[in-house]
Amino acid sequence: MSQPNAEYCGYRSPLSTRYASPEMQFLFSEQHKFSTWRKLWIILAKAQKELGLDVTDAQLAEMEAHVSDVDFKAAAAEEKLTRHDVMAHVHVFAKQCPTAAPIIHLGATSCYVGDNTDLLILKGGLELLLPKLVGVIKRLSEFSVEYRELPTLGFTHLQPAQLTTVGKRCTLWVQDLLMDERALRGCRDNLRFRGVKGTTGTQASFLQLFAGDGEKVKALDQKVTELACFGKCYAVTGQTYSRKVDLEIVSALASLGATIHKLCSDLRLLASRKELEEPFESTQIGSSAMAYKRNPMRSERCCAIARHLITLHANAANTLAVQWMERTLDDSANRRLTLSEAFLSADACLMTLLNISQGLVVYPKVIERNIAQELPFMATENVIMAMVQAGGDRQVCHEKIRVLSHEAGAQVKQHGRDNDLIERIRGDAYFAPILGDLDKILDPKTFTGRAADQVVEFVRDEVEPVLVKYAGNIETGSVGLAI
């Protein structure tokens, strides 16, 4: 009897096996995390050396030589003994760097590497997401301009309403995405470093290292921050940086999830009406039983993952709420799940949405047919106005239209037939004065108001200034996806 493959005998997150990009997965990987810890110990030692502590070039060189070669098995064995992940890695790193061992983690608390690494990862995650988000904005903006004049039924209460255009509807999606871009960019630009703050944020251990010289401690904080490529550090912290930072970022990501869910729900509804479809490969199978089906599986995937992303907001909010005094450790396990899954989920959604936006298919004839079923009712006021201008009595015309509309409505609702109101109007001698203008009165483009102009103005005034900020850093390439 064959043995199962051990690789597949434990839980693996579908976010890593199916959905998120390799770049985002690496950002939240153990390799990246622990090599970043080592980089932070080197940064601390360099800054301490510059400010006069006894740190040698040989020690720094030894540490730099072992940044990436993390011995995970040895660290796991140490952690099993010490029950402390940071000290386990301090011990393993010290064994690899015996000369530097005395100055590794000097004066620092666990949150020096833990929190500062998290902040670097959060910053990196935002920098990976923003070009993808802007890529979606760019493509959907191009789509909105392309279809700015194509009339389509608008819907309120999911009931046919006044006409809009395919492009104008798309600008509603883009406008929400622009708000998400603004929020995520704000998170990135406002993000600060924790720096060196000590066990309760007072910097007491570093003040002792520098013999009570507070100015040198302040300088150390600034130098470490600059070496980590941050402009500023938080002026005050407890043992950790405030978990309000996590909440702000996860809130922005959850908000993006809500935008994507709304957008992709609209696409699913439009696909059910056969007016618009997401890409569908020639070999793709929509259903194992119903061979004819073209299910909107990408949009459904986005909705599924986006719902998970939305729920993570509550985790971040609750974690902030229960941080007693300078900190409690009940944030740790939750954050390991929440922060990584928020970014991986957002990444998966944006990758999929980028693919969708690159291959949207519009069916104008279906849209035209659907308009034809509803426009006659919407056009009744225009017909009445035209008759009045031709010398008719408004009240008489209104009653004529009312009766014919009810008759046509009965044909649609009771007998399942097409809307024949226009044929009824053409067949009524009363409307003879306007029959020559009836096609013009019923032209769908005359019912869309300023929709086409609004699209052009929106893209020019709202979208293009954002795209300029990302010139040369917009992800628009074709994206291959797992089914």
By annotation, the residues acting in catalysis are 157, 287
Max Cα separation, the chain?
A: 104
- 327, 239 Cβ separation under 8 angstroms: yes
- 138, 175 Cβ separation under 8 angstroms: no
Of the candidates 290, 269, 291, 287, the residue with the CA atom closest to the CA atom of residue 278: 269
Distances (CA, A) of 425 to 84, 98, 400, 407, 421: 83, 95, 9, 11, 6
Q: Dihedral through CA 171, CA 175, CA 180, CA 182, nearest 10?
A: 130
Please give the structure tokens belonging to residue 65. 């030589």
> How many CA atoms lie less than 13 Å away from 71 in the CB half-sphere?
16
Question: What are the residues facing 155 on neighbouring strands?
Answer: 160
Length of the chain: 483
